[in-house]
Amino acid sequence: MQDFLVPAIGQYYDGRDQVQRDECMRSCGMAGMTIMLAAKAMGYDSCPMDGFDFDAVAKIIELPEDHVISFMIAVGKGTQPAWPKPGQLPYDEVVIQNTF
């Protein structure tokens, strides 16, 4: 199985920069979700962060050229409840089951 899968995976990703980036972001999203769920289970709050200067952070942490930052997660103890999120659609408008 390994002799079949390893070359197939290589062929799928090799030379396809956008596919590689998409997979990276998808994997980072799942890893981030896991970190946030683990933090909550340990009694911490968390918040995914975007909107910062990605290049400046990459420079500060000496990120290798062939790496990218997907997002950051702040983890800590909350000092107050989260603000209400205005404009959210009702659950039954965004969750569709067994049909499109």
pLDDT per residue as tens, the chain (100 positions): 899 898 888 888 888 989 988 998 999 999 999 999 999 999 999 999 988 999 999 999 999 998 989 889 999 998 988 888 788 888 888 898 888 7
Identify the pLDDT of residue 75: 97
Cα–Cα separations (whole angstroms), residue 14 to 2, 26, 58, 68: 18, 18, 25, 18
User: What single DSSP character describes residue 30?
Assistant: H
CA-to-CA dists, residue 41 to 10, 37, 72, 76, 79, angstroms? 37, 6, 19, 12, 18
Q: Can you give the pTM of this predicted structure? A: 0.70
Provide the pLDDT for residue 30.
96
Give me the pLDDT at residue 51, please: 87
